[in-house]
Structure 1
Amino acid sequence: MMTSRKEGVMKFKSEEEYRAKGERVVKSWINDWNKFIREALGANLDRDQQAIVESVQHNPRTTVASGTARGKDFVTACAAISFLYLTPKWNAKKELVANTKVALTAPTDRQVKNIMMPEIARLYNAAKRRGVHLPGRLNAYDIRMDDVEWFLTGFKADEHNHEAWSGFHAVNTMFAVTEASGISDDTFGAIEGNLQGNSRILLVFNPNTTIGYAAKSQKGERWSKFRLNSLTAPNVIEKKLMIPGQVDYEWVIDKIANWCSPIRVDEVKEEEDDFQFEGQWYRPTDIFRIKVLGKFPKVGQDNLIPEQWIELAEQRWTEYHSSRTYEYYSDSLILGNDVAGMGRDSSVDCYRYANIVARFYETNSAGVADHMETAGRIANVLANDHEAISSIDTIGEGAGVYSRLVELGYEDRVISCKYSESAKSEFDQPLTDVTGQYEFANMRAYLFWAVRDWLNPKNNQNAMLPPNERLKEEAIEIKWKFQSNGSVIIEPKEDIKKRLGRSTDLFDALANTFHPISRLESVASPAGYF
Structure 2
Amino acid sequence: MTMNETYELSAKAKIIAWRQDWCAFAREALGVSLDVEQEAILRSVQLNPRTSVASGTARGKDFVAAVAAICFMYLTPKWNEKGELIANTKVALTAPTERQVKNICVPEIARLFNRAKSRGIDLPGKMMAFDIRTDHEEWFLTAFRADPHRHESWSGFHAVNTMFVVTEASGILDDTFTAIEGNLQGNSRILIVFNPNTTIGYAARSQKGERWSKFRLNSLTAPNVVQKQSIIPGQVDYAWVKDKIDNWCSVIQEADYNETFDDFVFEGIWYRPEDNFRKKVLGKFPKVSEDNLIPEVWIELAQKRWLDYHQQHGQHLRYADALRLGVDVAGMGRDSTVFCYRYGNIVQQFTQSNSGGAADHMQVAGKIAAILGLDRQAQAIVDTIGEGAGVYARILEVGYKSRAVSCKYSEAATNDKGEKLTDLTGQYSFANMRAYLFWAVRDWLNPKNQQNAMLPPDAALMEEATEIKWKFQSNGAIIIEPKDEIKKRLGRSTDAFDALANTFYPTKMNKRIMNLGNLF
TM over 0.5: yes
Q: Which amino acid aligns with 1:283?
A: R
Bigger shift: residues 183-192 or 45-54: 183-192
Partner of 1:504: 494
1:130-172 deviation per Cα after TM superposition (whole angstroms, max 9, x unaligned): 1111111111101110111111111111111112111111111
After TM superposition, list the pairs within 5 Å mapping 1:447-486 onto structure 2: 447-486=437-476
Verify: 1:357 aligned to 2:333, yes or no: no
Q: Quick one: which of 215, 220, 236 aligns to 2:204?
A: 215
Mapped to 1, the partners of 2:377 and 2:510 lie a distance apart of: 12
Mapped to 2, the partners of 1:494 and 1:137 lie a distance apart of: 50
Q: Which amino acid aligns with 1:338?
A: D
Partner of 1:168: 157
Partner of 1:41: 30
Say whether the 8 Å CA contact 2:341–2:348 is kept in structure 1. yes
Partner of 1:179: 168
Q: Quick one: which of 410, 414, 426 aligns to 1:420?
A: 410
Q: Which amino acid aligns with 1:470?
A: A
Shift of 1:14: 2.4
1:370-425 deviation per Cα after TM superposition (whole angstroms, max 9, x unaligned): 11111100000010001111111111111111111111111111111111111111
Mapped to 1, the partners of 2:401 and 2:478 lie a distance apart of: 31
Mapped to 2, the partners of 1:44 and 1:513 lie a distance apart of: 51
Mapped to 2, the partners of 1:253 and 1:365 lie a distance apart of: 56
Shift of 1:324: 3.4
**SS where residue 311 of structure 1 aligns?**
helix
1:509-528 deviation per Cα after TM superposition (whole angstroms, max 9, x unaligned): 001111112x3254999x9x
Q: Quick one: which of 370, 385, 392 aligns to 2:360?
A: 370
Verify: 1:241 aligned to 2:234, yes or no: no
Shift of 1:450: 0.7
Mapped to 2, the partners of 1:274 and 1:488 lie a distance apart of: 30
Mapped to 1, the partners of 2:119 and 2:223 lie a distance apart of: 25
- TM-score normalised to the size of structure 1? 0.95
Q: Which amino acid aligns with 1:226?
A: F
Q: Which amino acid aligns with 1:269?
A: N
- TM-score normalised to the size of structure 2? 0.97
Say whether the 8 Å CA contact 2:322–2:510 is kept in structure 1. no
**SS where residue 351 of structure 1 aligns?**
strand
Verify: 1:333 aligned to 2:323, yes or no: yes
Partner of 1:386: 376
RMSD: 1.5
**SS where residue 62 of structure 1 aligns?**
strand
Partner of 1:90: 79
Shift of 1:327: 5.4
Say whether the 8 Å CA contact 1:314–1:465 is kept in structure 2. yes
**SS where residue 169 of structure 1 aligns?**
coil
Q: Quick one: which of 386, 397, 409 aligns to 2:399?
A: 409
Mapped to 1, the partners of 2:302 and 2:314 lie a distance apart of: 20
Verify: 1:148 aligned to 2:165, yes or no: no
Q: Quick one: which of 248, 255, 260 aligns to 1:266?
A: 255
Verify: 1:132 aligned to 2:121, yes or no: yes
Mapped to 2, the partners of 1:361 and 1:111 lie a distance apart of: 44
Q: Which amino acid aligns with 1:308?
A: V
After TM superposition, list the pairs within 5 Å mapping 1:269-308 onto structure 2: 269-308=258-297
Q: Which amino acid aligns with 2:498?
A: D
Say whether the 8 Å CA contact 1:329–1:353 is kept in structure 2. no
Partner of 1:193: 182
Bigger shift: residues 28-37 or 16-25: 16-25
Mapped to 2, the partners of 1:372 and 1:361 lie a distance apart of: 17
Mapped to 2, the partners of 1:278 and 1:264 lie a distance apart of: 14
**SS where residue 208 of structure 2 aligns?**
coil
Mapped to 2, the partners of 1:168 and 1:407 lie a distance apart of: 56
Partner of 1:108: 97
**SS where residue 132 of structure 1 aligns?**
coil
Mapped to 2, the partners of 1:511 and 1:114 lie a distance apart of: 48
Q: Which amino acid aligns with 1:292?
A: V
Partner of 2:426: 436
Aligned length: 514
After TM superposition, list the pairs within 5 Å mapping 1:44-55 onto structure 2: 44-55=33-44
Say whether the 8 Å CA contact 1:341–1:370 is kept in structure 2. no
Say whether the 8 Å CA contact 2:322–2:509 is kept in structure 1. no
Q: Which amino acid aligns with 1:285?
A: E
Say whether the 8 Å CA contact 2:58–2:236 is kept in structure 1. yes
Partner of 2:388: 398
Mapped to 1, the partners of 2:201 and 2:290 lie a distance apart of: 19
Shift of 1:507: 0.5
Q: Which amino acid aligns with 1:95?
A: E
**SS where residue 25 of structure 2 aligns?**
helix
**SS where residue 190 of structure 2 aligns?**
strand
**SS where residue 313 of structure 2 aligns?**
coil
Mapped to 1, the partners of 2:162 and 2:169 lie a distance apart of: 18
After TM superposition, list the pairs within 5 Å mapping 1:75-86 onto structure 2: 75-86=64-75
**SS where residue 400 of structure 1 aligns?**
helix
Partner of 1:3: none
